[in-house]
Amino acid sequence: MIKANYKKYILDFKNPSGTSRGVLRTKETWFIVLEENGKTGIGETGLFRGLSVDDVSNYEEKLIWTCSNISKGLEWLLNELLEFPSIQFGLEQAYLSLKSKDQFQLFPSEFTKGKETIAINGLIWMGEKEFMKKQIKEKLKTGFSCIKMKIGAIDFEAEIELLKSIRNEFSSKEIELRVDANGAFIPKNALDKLQRLSELDIHSIEQPIKQGLVNEMAELCAKTPLPIALDEELIGVFSSEAKKKLLTAIKPQYIILKPSLIGGFVGSLEWINLAKENKCDWWITSALESNVGLNAIAQFTHTLKSSLPQGLGTGGLFTNNFESPLEVKKGTLQYNPDKYWKFNL
Q: How far apart are CA 306 and CA 344, in angstroms?
A: 33
| Domain shared by 130 and 53, yes or no | no
* Nearest one of 251, 255, 253, 246 to 225, comparing CA atoms: 253
Structural domain of residue 183, as residue ranges?
118-335
Residue 315 within a domain: yes
150 is catalytic: yes
19 pLDDT higher than 90: no
Residue 210 within a domain: yes
258 is catalytic: yes
| Domain shared by 156 and 216, yes or no | yes
Of the three residues 37, 69, 99, the one that is the final residue of a domain is 99
Signed CA dihedral, 88, 21, 119, 138: sign only: negative
342 pLDDT higher than 70: yes
| pTM tops 0.85, yes or no | yes
| Domain shared by 167 and 280, yes or no | yes
| Domain shared by 83 and 165, yes or no | no
The confidence score (pLDDT) of residue 244 equals: 97
The confidence score (pLDDT) of residue 20 equals: 59
Q: For a pLDDT cut of 70, what percent of the chain falls above it?
A: 99
Single-letter amino acid code for the residue at 126:
M
Which of 16-20, 32-36, 290-294 bottoms out in mean pLDDT, i.e. has the lowest?
16-20
Residue 208 within a domain: yes
The confidence score (pLDDT) of residue 232 equals: 95
Q: How far apart are CA 19 and CA 152, in angstroms?
A: 9
The confidence score (pLDDT) of residue 101 equals: 95
| Domain shared by 95 and 136, yes or no | no
Q: For a pLDDT cut of 90, what percent of the chain falls above it?
A: 82
Of the three residues 99, 131, 154, the one that is the final residue of a domain is 99
Catalytic residue among 27, 150, 193, 243: 150
Span 237-249, average pLDDT: 97
| Domain shared by 150 and 295, yes or no | yes
| Domain shared by 144 and 292, yes or no | yes
| Domain shared by 162 and 308, yes or no | yes
* CB neighbours of residue 146 within 10 Å: 20
Axis-axis angle for helices 156-169, 187-198 (nearest 10): 20
pLDDT tens by residue, 82-137: 999 999 999 999 999 999 999 999 999 999 999 999 999 998 887 777 887 888 88
| Domain shared by 87 and 165, yes or no | no
Of the three residues 64, 99, 134, the one that is the final residue of a domain is 99
Residue 111 within a domain: no
Contact 50, 60 (CB under 8 A): no
pLDDT tens by residue, 217-228: 999 999 999 999
Count of structural domains, the chain: 2
Residue 107 within a domain: no
Residue 141 within a domain: yes
Mean residue pLDDT across the chain: 94
pLDDT tens by residue, 167-214: 988 899 889 999 999 899 999 999 999 999 999 999 999 999 999 999
Helices (H), 29-128: 59-68, 74-80, 85-99
18 pLDDT higher than 70: no
| Domain shared by 214 and 329, yes or no | yes
SS (H, E, C) 267-310: HHHHHHHHHHHCCCEEEEECCCCCHHHHHHHHHHHHHHCCCCCE
Question: Residue 265 is part of a domain; what is its CATH number?
Answer: 3.20.20.120
Residue 345 within a domain: no
Axis-axis angle for helices 85-99, 264-277 (nearest 10): 110
CA atoms in the 13 A half-sphere facing the CB of 250:
29
Question: Residue 19 is part of a domain; what is its CATH number?
Answer: 3.30.390.10
157 pLDDT higher than 90: yes
